[in-house]
Amino acid sequence: MVTGATSGIGRTAAEAFGREHASLVLVGRDENGLVSAADAVRAAGGRAAICRADVTAADAPERIVATAVDTYGGLDVLVNAAGVIASGTLDSTTDDV
């Protein structure tokens, strides 16, 4: 699984895994970017399913992992490349942030 798979480090990681014939769940907010990344992974020799999600949403982790389990039977590797910028401690950061 690669979060932030539509650009930057996430996209590059997805394509690299594709060249190794990996089966991936690509996660991101941009549907067009996800389709493009999936096409690139497949062109490189990998398999790709997409999961449009905002990793900051409270329900996202369960839904994203369920996509991996439903599609491939489990999850072996996570590349967490989604970029979210917020400051504060874990205890002081609210769900809204």
**For position 56, what pLDDT does the model report?**
86
**For position 26, what pLDDT does the model report?**
98
**For position 91, what pLDDT does the model report?**
85
Q: Structural domains in the chain?
A: 2-80 (3.40.50.720)
**For position 65, what pLDDT does the model report?**
95
Q: pLDDT per residue over 41-90, tens digit each? A: 999 999 999 999 999 898 999 999 999 999 999 999 999 999 777 778 87
Q: List all residues 6 or more positions away from 28 whose beta carbon is below 8 Å from its beta carbon.
A: 3, 4, 5, 6, 10, 34, 37, 50, 52, 53, 82
DSSP code string of 32-73? HHHHHHHHHHHHHT-EEEEEE--TTSTTHHHHHHHHHHHHHS
pLDDT band at 95 (very low <50, low <70, confident <90, very high): confident
**For position 72, what pLDDT does the model report?**
97
Q: Cβ(59)–Cβ(34) under 8 Å?
A: no
**For position 92, what pLDDT does the model report?**
83
**For position 85, what pLDDT does the model report?**
74
* Dist. CA 16–CA 31, nearest whole Å: 21
